[in-house]
Amino acid sequence: MPFVNQYFESVSGDSFYPEILDLYNIWNGLCSQKPEVVIEIGGGVSTSLISYYCSNFNAKHILIDPEEYWVQNTFSGLEKCGLTPPFYSPLQVIEKDATKAVGIDFANSTFDKKTYYDFDYANSFLLDNISNSSKKLVFVDANCDKSFFQGGEIFIDPVMSPMLSNSLILVDWRLTACTLLSGMENIKSVYSTNTEILFDKFPSVGNMINYGFSAFTY
CATH number at residue 98: 3.40.50
Residues 6+ away with beta carbon under 8 Å from 156: 101, 102, 103, 104, 149, 180, 184
Q: Which residues share a beta bridge with 170?
A: 139, 215
pLDDT beyond 80 at 204: no
Q: Containing domain of residue 80, as a range?
A: 2-217
**Position 108 pLDDT exceeds 80:** no
On the question of pLDDT at 200 being above 50, the answer is no
For the CA atoms of the chain, what is the radius of gyration?
A: 17
Q: Determine the average pLDDT of the residues in 107-114.
A: 78
Burial of 19 (0-12, 13-18, 19+ CB in 10 A): middle
* 16: confidence class by pLDDT, cuts 50, 70, 90: low
pLDDT at 20: 79
User: What is d(CA 125, CA 195) in angstroms, rounded to the nearest whole number?
Assistant: 35
DSSP 40-59: EES-SHHHHHHHHHHHHHT-
Minimum mean pLDDT range among 21-25, 64-68, 84-88, 203-207: 203-207
Q: pTM of the entire structure?
A: 0.89
**CA atoms of 192 and 203, how far apart (whole Å):** 16
Q: Which long-range contacts (CB under 8 A, 24 or more apart) does 95-99 make?
A: 96/153, 96/157
The domain total for the chain is 1
Q: How far is Cα 3 from Cα 141, in angstroms, rounded to an integer?
A: 21
List, for residues 146-160, the tens digit of each pLDDT value.
999 999 999 999 999
The residues, any chain, with a CB within 8 Å of residue 182's CB and separated by 6 or more, are 189, 192, 216
Give residue 198's pLDDT: 40
Q: Indicate if the pLDDT at residue 179 is higher than 90.
A: no
**pLDDT of res. 176:** 86
Q: Lowest-pLDDT range, 1-5, 34-38, 83-87?
A: 1-5
